[in-house]
Amino acid sequence: MTESKHRYFIINKPANMVSQFISPDTVGLLGDLEYDFPEGIHAIGRLDSHSEGLLILTTNKKVTRLLFQGEVPHKRVYVVHVKNVINQEKLNLLRTGIPILIKGNVKYVTTPCEVEIVEKPKGWLKRSKEPEDVPHTWLRITLTEGKYHQVRKMVYAAGHKCKRLIRMSIEDLELGDLQPGKVREMEEEDFFKKLKIENWRDILEKPTFLGN
């Protein structure tokens, strides 16, 4: 690893675990993972407890603004298991923009995105006890925005139930063969390169940058 005052990790967050190290509730925590994380570590771009997949952990508090609050939106890819078979009309609705309720009970039409029917991701164990022959669909959804529970709300607005949601990648930062519950540390330069954040060194060194 190259010398850096910050450290960067990706994990494959399993289901039934919150994206936190501390909680007043009796829930699965990131600290339950078998890994000796450094002091000051925290999650970026959280996944809800029922969702799985790629989660970024870092000691660098500035990453949130660089990744999710900057002017350039970053692409996120999810694979979603939904109940029943989705028809072409619903697919087009998901692709072109679908009304969902966001904070404040406000109706919001989602930004056009990529949605396609795919096969079940290889290497992912079956979670549900439901037989395989029950009608269902696996979707690959690529977003550049992230409202609260957006993917689940989109699927629900299309008349389907989200049975499983897995975040596969953020830009070129991918899960790859990382197994559920496992952790991988990354070099700082490779981390920002895969997230397609340019001039990150200059930005992080600015004393006026929020998050110091």
What amino acid positions are annotated as catalytic residues?
A: 48
Taking a C-beta distance cutoff of 8 angstroms, is the pair 118, 172 a contact?
A: no
| Cα(95)–Cα(115) distance, integer angstroms | 6
Q: Which of 45, 36, 59, 39 is nearest to 13 (CA)?
A: 45
* Phi, psi for 90 (deg, rounded to 5): -70, -35
CA 195, CA 186: separation in Å to the nearest integer? Answer: 12
Cα separation of 187 and 29, whole Å?
A: 25
Distance CA 11, CA 56 (A): 7
